[in-house]
Amino acid sequence: MKLLLGLYSAVHAFMAALFAMAALMLIVIAARVAWTAFTGGLDASAAEAIIEAMGLLAAAVVALQISQTIAEEEVIRDAHISAPTRVRRFLSRFMVVIVVAVAVEALVATFKAREAPSLLLYAAATLCSVGVILAGWGIFVRLNRYAEELEPEAMAEAKQEDAKLK
């Protein structure tokens, strides 16, 4: 069984490395897009390209955060997601990244809608989805807190696992 768990850790480490490489590639592409916009002249199309670069950077942040979360939770801590505290902490790390990425996408869509008003509905829906995600996440955290109070030993165990990162 330990061999199988070691294999899972190795696969998670490989996935974390792939996410990190994807983030680096997105950063390079965003830098190239931004540089091309900057050298091509500072006009409305350059602004749109810069906004596109921001969207790429947001995607890079998402990929990098996912890489870090997988590495910390599944490889370094070798945590098993079973206690309410661990579930909340694990999902909260992903939710922060998702909310930021969707909010940046809403910003990009809003700027694009200035030139194509037909995209305004998409921008508004994307912005509303940020609110829905935040509300759902808040409800989850609130309900999860009650479950954590029933299992204080799980909180202590999660804090001990944090020592592996120091």
In DSSP notation, 39-57 reads HT-SSHHHHHHHHHHHHHH
**Distance, CA of 53 to CA of 28 (rounded, Å):** 10
Separation CA 39–CA 32 (nearest Å): 10
* CB neighbour list of residue 76: distance below 8 Å, 6 or more residues apart: 164, 165
In terms of Cβ atoms closer than 10 Å to its own Cβ (0-12, 13-18, 19+), residue 76 is middle
Q: What is the dihedral of CA 93, 141, 134, 61, to 10 degrees?
A: 0
Sequence letter at residue 36:
T
Neighbours of 81 (CB within 10 A): 11
Residue 115, SS3 per DSSP: coil
pLDDT in tens, the chain (166 residues): 788 888 988 999 999 999 999 999 999 999 999 999 999 888 878 888 888 898 889 889 889 988 998 888 778 876 656 566 777 777 887 788 788 888 888 888 888 888 888 889 999 999 999 999 999 999 988 888 777 777 766 666 666 666 655 5
Q: Please give the pLDDT value at position 164.
A: 57
Residues in Cβ contact with 120 at an 8 Å cutoff, skipping those fewer than 6 apart: 110, 113
Please name the amino acid found at residue 132: V
Cα–Cα distance, 77 to 34 (Å, whole number) = 38
The full set of domain ranges for the chain reads 1-78, 81-166
pLDDT (0 to 100) of residue 24: 98
Query: Strand, helix or coil at 89?
Result: helix
